A and B are shown apart, each in its own frame.
Chain A
Amino acid sequence: MTPPALSPEASQGFSGNFRKSSYSLKLWLGIAWVGFLTLPWYAAYDGFWSFIWITDGYPAFDEYSPGILQITMHQRWWLWPVALSLLVPLPALFLPRTDPRHIAALLLGGGFGFAYMFAQGFILGLHGWGWVFLGDLFGSTTQTQMGLGYGALLVCAGFLFLFTQGLAARGAIKGDIFVSGSIGLSIAMVTAFVFFPVGKILINALKNDEGEYVFSLFLKNISSNNIWSLACLNSEFSCGVAWNSLWMGVLVGLATTVLGLAFALLVTRTGMQAKGFVRTISLLPIITPPFVIGLALILLFGRAGAVNAFLEWAFDITPTRWIYGLTGILIAQILAFTPIAFLVLIGVVEGVSPSMEEAAQTLHASPWQTFWTVSLPLMRPGLANAFLLGFIESLADFGNPLVLGGQYEVLSTQIFFAIAGAQGDLGMAAVLAIVLLMFTLSAFYAQRRWLGKKSYATVTGKGDAGMHVMLPKRVAWGAYLTAMPFIALSLVVYGMILFGGFVETWGYKHNFTFKHYIDEFSIHWSEQYGIIWDGAAWNSFWTTLQISAISAPLTAGLGLLTAYILVRQKFWGKDVFEFLTMLSFAVPGTVIGVGYILAFNVPPIEITGTGVILVVCFIFRNMPTGIRAGIAAMSQLDPSLDEASLTLGARSFTTLRRVLLPLLRPAIIAALVFSFVRAMTAISAVIFLVSADYDMATSYILGRVEFGDYGLAIAYSSVLILVMLGAIALIQLAVGKRELGRRDSEPLAI
């Protein structure tokens, strides 16, 4: 009985769907086989993007052979199970999706294959056994292998997605292949690039120089006086680095939260003029490498700084070094991190439902009571978040304590010196990293405890047309008084950054010069070679741009995908998954940096010294922000939009692409801008991961600062800031606005 007015295509849709669903199976099985049969199994020495192997002995040469030849030609017999696992899923191609044998083949082949790939990778490394006890158990071995290469990676991906397809065929995640694959991918990635390195730190902290596990050494290290001494309370000596860090983090967290709140209130709840100006000023520090602010402070308040020079000239006051130490670090970090608190809080302050405030007023609360008893408590999650961000950023910050710290030592700098310093003590670095991690995780835990299970949701689907209550007078004045000095100082600091690059040597020769820019960015034209980029900065500049441009879309993509999974999908273990993705944001950059060196300089994932490690690092450092931007935006979209798309026959990937992404444009812009900017300005993890081939702008600049070339450093920084402004404009242009036929899209919120 076909409906009369319509044609018979409907009946095709059903069987056609079976063909569609096996497409993904064919794809990943094909990719895995291609990886196994044709591409180099191991990572060649010349980096991920090097294709020298094509002309250099492929396929027979040991280092470049694909998996199949590794087994047959190079006696790597332990790869046989990989080949077998690739055979197991083949029958699934000929069985319908609902057949239990189809499911079993995928689960078995994919699951075992994936597990085996990693097991063998860890068991056998570059120098034989991956773990010492294996040697004791089986005797020594002459077999060795390098890190996973293109072929092995494709096979891994194939196994992973075959396994998740098996789960989907069993009805997991509503039978959705794309979503189950995405979940599998995020879990695998977060495990490999967050938990594995952090775990590696823990293991390393237990080892002595010979690689043996000595628990007593760990106890001795972690309880050392250097870390925990309280001498500063009752004597001239300084306290342990842990207390120093904690004190600094708490102060910065509090100060940035209060300042951020003041700004958010001023911008949203007062009739203040020049709101756009305040917003712009507050955004500037986000596109500035944090330690550049420290640098500007030195140029202003340092011994030879502008202010001191003036005071000495005018009033004959002898310059002091007061800026070096905790005071200087605090000023620099507060200037650098307040904007982050501001951005977190402005969303929260705007989000407090006006009708709740109106309700309070109709119940006879005064504006002050309304603010104190209703508005402020509803902002609690935002305040907690802002504090946590400030606290973590401060603890992880590495540049400012290095530049301004003087005698005030903190964990992040100590970690750096433990690794880069003369002793090269990885174990000590690991111990310090654990202390740092303990602080941030406790703060993270405390924050979740404090917020508890109370619901602070004030934005509902229902129209909420009330008016926000204006700030009570005393709060408004308080906000002005807090914010204005900050703005003034910011302006002076940025003036310094802008003009500092044109002054020859601060404190000594104040003549106007282009020297620094020419040193860094000169270009010559030669008849023979064409353009010659002979400025000293070009190398790190291009690397930075390239790495940031590669990592930004990947970060935003993975972040939004994870947000989609968290907001829109229900699956077993989702709570844990959510906690873990958010946890990775509580790991300070310094810790991640140390973890990455420990984890990725040996097979199976061997990427130290390449550009890949920088890209990967940025992705996982910045992903939580992408996730939160995505979660916030996606929660505002009615879930029936995607359900409608699904019931109309679109797969979830198509739904994401055609329905959700166009509606998520503001969030995409925010995620792209943020990850790009963070990649350009990050230093704390980067300092451990740069290499001669892949030097980043920030580490280059910090190098110049250490040499005392302040002019060069400032000049380079202002170029970076301008480049980022340009890039932000470009991203907004490229992603475009969403057209809803009503109001315009919201203003950019990073």
Chain B
Amino acid sequence: MGNTETAVEFRNVTKAYGDVRAVRNFSFSIERGKLVTLLGPSGCGKTTTLRLIAGLEMVTEGNIFIGGKEVTRLSASDRDVSMVFQSYALFPHMTVMQNVSYGLTMSRLTKAQVSEKALEGLELVGLTGFGGRLPSQLSGGQQQRVAVARALVLEPEVLLFDEPLSNLDAKLRRRVREEIRELQQKLELTTVYVTHDQEEALAVSDRIIVMNEAVIAQEGTPRQLYEEPDSLFVADFIGDANLAKAELVQLDGKEAEVNIGGFTMRLPHRGLASGAVNVAIRPQAILLQSSGEQTGIPGTIQKAIYLGNHIEYTIDSPVGELFMIDNQVDQLQPSGSKVTISFLRRGVSLVRAD
């Protein structure tokens, strides 16, 4: 295939609808064979970005490259991408086999090749033998797999998924996302995946691009995003986080001594200087001790919710209200009780103020 390892590249892409800019000066590139997720709250421009790649929307400014070739002004049918839609968009008047063959018949393949590849595609998604049915005769999960098969039999340069799991129930969702990931890795397909569900994004992605209000908030591996969020927004969006004021007391090599409401701990300084800083504290990184212990800051339990395998507490503390998750379900602290809290190093990170 092409001589480049970059499958998709955006250079300073802006998309405006009248005065509203849905995507603002976007630049990123996607490596061949990787699954990259566009993650963000609704209205952040992630679906617009996906549609720009597909050619279903045209850029207002900037350039788009697919497989090293510029496609900025090419229509959707001229681009070597295919897409799995949120609603699946299976053609209701065609059988499963006709749906899967549809894209293939547009290329210059013989009838035999078309049906061979279509059958191959159905086999890949585990739907051998369902070719003669109409989409309406399949379950939601099966329809979803037909949509995937239909898109991937074309062996596109890039495969696009637009919130593909949103129409499935919670249990099925987990299974299907694993299937998609397995298939993507097996076929080494470059894939762009859009979702607003951060857990889904963490589960399937090689890299994640977090978007907020039409710009890229942060880009990185799932681990980077979770452990080293660049901003309060990312920290809060990827997994829950408590945001608190803190003071960077002094730098020490790569680390820094940080004072969070009286509790001192060492954290990677991430390029920040001494003075007031923000920290993101994961709910799992807060430890509860009985009142009276030395290392920690005082707090009062405001609310306690028992959830079977864990307890959720809301605690009033000198650094503000904290939300925490405690796995010690046998020691329920009733609301109103005084506690001492401390923080685990893993699960607390310094972030720049937004």
Our verdict on whether A and B bind, yes or no, reads: yes
CA A742 – CA B137 in complex, angstroms? 9
**Is B253 engaged at the interface, CB distance under 8 Å to the other chain?**
no
User: B317-334, CB under 8 A of A: which get 1 and which 0?
Assistant: 000000000000000000
List residues 78-108 of chain B with CB under 8 A from any CB of chain A.
78-83, 85-87, 89-93, 102-103, 106-108
Say whether, besides A10-B156, A169-B73, A647 and B54 are in contact (CB < 8 Å).
Answer: yes
Segment touching B, from A12-20, A437-445, A448-456, A479-487: A12-20
Count of chain A residues near B, Cβ 8 A: 52
Contacts of A168 in B (CB 8 A): 75
Selecting from A420-428, A651-659, A714-722, the interface stretch reads A651-659
Partner pick for A646 among B58, B75, B107, CB 8 A cutoff:
B75
CA distance A244 to B32 in the complex (A): 75
Chain B residue at minimum C-beta to C-beta distance from A168: B75
Interfacial residues, chain B to chain A (CB-CB below 8 A)? 1-2, 32-33, 54-58, 67, 69-70, 72-83, 85-87, 89-93, 102-103, 106-109, 117, 120, 124, 134-137, 147, 150-151, 153-157, 160, 186-189
CA distance in complex: A644, B84 (Å): 8
A5 sits at the interface (CB 8 A): yes
Per-position 1/0 for A159-177, Cβ under 8 A of B = 0000000001111001111
For chain A residues 1-41, which have a beta carbon within 8 Å of chain B? 1-14, 16-18, 20-21
Q: Residue A174 contacts which of B58, B134, B155, B160 (CB distance < 8 angstroms)?
A: B58
Q: Roughly how many angstroms separate A192 CA and B47 CA in the complex, as a whole number?
A: 41
Q: Does the CB pair B1–A5 fall under 8 Å?
A: no
User: A335 to B80, alpha carbons, bound, how many Å?
Assistant: 58
- Determine if A741 and B92 form an interchain contact, defined as CB atoms under 8 angstroms apart: yes
Q: Which of A3, A651, A652, A662 contacts B187 (CB 8 A)?
A: A3
> Is B56's CB under 8 angstroms from A648's CB?
no
Q: Does the CB pair B58–A9 fall under 8 Å?
A: no
CB of A174 within 8 A of CB of B1, answer: no
Q: Which of A149-157, A276-284, A624-632, A635-643 contacts B (4 or more CB under 8 A)?
A: A635-643
Contacting residues, chain B, for A174 (C-beta < 8 A): 55-58, 75-76
A646 touches B76 (CB 8 A): yes
Report yes or no: B103 in contact with A649, Cβ–Cβ below 8 A.
yes
Q: Which residue of A lies closest to B183 (CB)?
A: A5
Q: Give the shortest distance, in Å, between B5 (CB) and chain A (any CB).
A: 8
Q: A1-B33, A9-B109, A175-B73 known; A644 and B85 CB under 8 Å? A: yes
Kindly report which residue of chain A lies nearest to residue B2, judged by CB atoms.
A11
| Contact, CB under 8 Å: B188 / A3 | yes
A175–B92 touching, CB < 8 Å: no
Give the interface centre of A98, A169, A663 by most chain B CB atoms within 10 Å: A98
- Chain A residue numbers with a CB within 8 Å of B54 are 643, 646-647
Task: Check if A170 sits within 8 Å of B120, measured CB to CB.
Answer: no
For the complex of A and B, 6 pairs with smallest distance between CB atoms: A648-B103, A741-B134, A10-B155, A644-B89, A175-B75, A640-B89
- CB of A464 closer than 8 Å to a CB of B: no
Residues of B within 8 A of A662 (CB): 93
Whether A645 is near chain B, meaning CB under 8 Å from some CB there, is yes
Look across to chain B and name the residue whose beta carbon is closest to the beta carbon of A179: B75
Q: Is the CB of B154 within 8 A of A14?
A: no
| CA A7 to CA B107, docked complex, whole Å | 14
B155 and A643 form a contact (CB under 8 A):
no
Question: Could you list 18 examples of A-B contacts with CB < 8 Å?
Answer: A1-B33, A2-B1, A3-B188, A5-B187, A6-B155, A14-B157, A17-B74, A20-B78, A174-B55, A175-B74, A175-B75, A644-B83, A647-B81, A648-B106, A648-B151, A649-B82, A663-B92, A741-B135
Which of these, B70, B109, B120, B187, contacts A4 with CB under 8 Å? B187
CA of A641 to CA of B150 in the docked complex: distance in angstroms?
Answer: 13
A6 — nearest CB in chain B belongs to which residue?
A: B155
Collect the chain A residues with CB atoms within 8 Å of residue B57's CB.
174
In the bound complex, CA of A608 to CA of B83 (Å): 52
Most chain B CB within 10 A, of A11, A174, A742, is at A174
User: From residue 175 to 192 of chain A, which have CB atoms closer than 8 A to chain B?
Assistant: 175-177
Residues of B within 8 A of A648 (CB): 82, 102-103, 106, 150-151, 154
Q: Which of chain B's residues have a CB closer than 8 A to the CB of A659?
A: 91
Q: A170-B73, A652-B77, A663-B93 are in contact. Are A643 and B56 (CB under 8 A)?
A: yes
**Interface assignment of A740: CB less than 8 Å from any CB of chain B:** yes
Cross-interface CB contact of B1 among A11, A17, A171, cutoff 8 Å: A11
A-chain residues with CB within 8 Å of residue B56 when the two chains form the complex:
174, 643, 646-647
Cα–Cα distance between A4 and B103 once the two chains are bound (Å): 20
Instruction: Give chain B nearest CB distance to A100 CB in angstroms.
Output: 11
With most chain A CB atoms within 10 A of its CB, the pick from B33, B80, B108, B136 is B80
Chain A residues near B135: list those with CB within 8 A.
741
Distance between B165 CB and nearest chain A CB, rounded to angstroms: 16
Q: Is A723 an interface residue (CB 8 A)?
A: no
On chain B, the residues within 8 Å of A17 by CB distance are 74, 77-78, 80
A650 close to B (CB within 8 Å): yes
Q: Does A574 contact B (CB under 8 A)?
A: no
Query: Across the interface, which residues of A come within 8 angstroms of B89, CB to CB?
Result: 638, 640-641, 643-644
Chain A residues near B155 (CB, 8 Å)?
3, 6-7, 9-10
Q: How far is the CB of A461 from chain B (nearest CB, A)?
A: 9
Which B residues are CB-close (under 8 A) to A647? 54-56, 76-77, 79, 81-83, 151, 160
B35 to chain A, nearest CB (A): 13
Task: Give the docked Cα–Cα distance between A379 and B105 (Å).
Answer: 45
CA distance A652 to B135 in the complex (A): 23
Q: Which residues of B are found within 8 Å of A5, using beta-carbon distances?
A: 120, 124, 186-187
A519 at the interface (CB under 8 A from B): no
Residues of chain A within 8 A (CB-CB) of B103 are 648-650
CB distance from A601 to the nearest CB of B (A): 42
Chain A positions within 8 Å of B83 at CB level? 643-644, 647
Residues of chain B lying within 8 A (CB to CB) of residue A651: 75, 77
A-B contacts besides A4-B188, A644-B91, A647-B160, 17 pairs, CB < 8 Å: A3-B187, A5-B187, A6-B155, A13-B107, A14-B69, A17-B80, A97-B73, A170-B73, A174-B76, A644-B83, A645-B91, A649-B103, A650-B77, A650-B102, A654-B106, A663-B92, A740-B134
B26 smallest CB distance to A (angstroms): 17
A275 at the interface (CB under 8 A from B): no
Q: Is A321 an interface residue (CB 8 A)?
A: no
* A693 lies within 8 A of chain B by Cβ: no
Residues of B within 8 A of A652 (CB): 75, 77
Residue in B closest to A647 when the chains form the complex, CB atoms: B83
Q: Does chain B have a CB within 8 A of A706?
A: no
- In the complex, the chain A residue whose C-beta lies closest to that of B81 is A647
Residues in B with CB closer than 8 Å to A654 are 106
Contact yes or no, B80 A10, CB < 8 A: yes
Q: With A3-B188, A98-B70, A648-B154 given, is the CB distance from A176 to B85 under 8 Å? A: no
- Are B124 and A175 within 8 A (Cβ)? no
Contacting residues, chain A, for B58 (C-beta < 8 A): 171, 174-175
Alpha-carbon distance A741/B81, docked complex (angstroms): 30
| CB < 8 Å neighbour of A176 from B33, B75, B124 | B75
B162 to chain A: closest CB distance in Å? 8
B34 to chain A, nearest CB (A): 11
Report the Cα distance A591→B85, complex, angstroms: 48
Contact among B70, B75, B86, B134 with A640 in the assembled complex (CB-CB below 8 Å): B86
Q: B124 to chain A: which residues have CB within 8 Å?
A: 5
Min CB distance A732 to B, Å, is 18
Give the residue name and chain of the B residue nearest to A663 (CB).
B93
Which residues of the other chain, A, contact B78 by a CB distance below 8 angstroms?
17-18, 20-21, 175
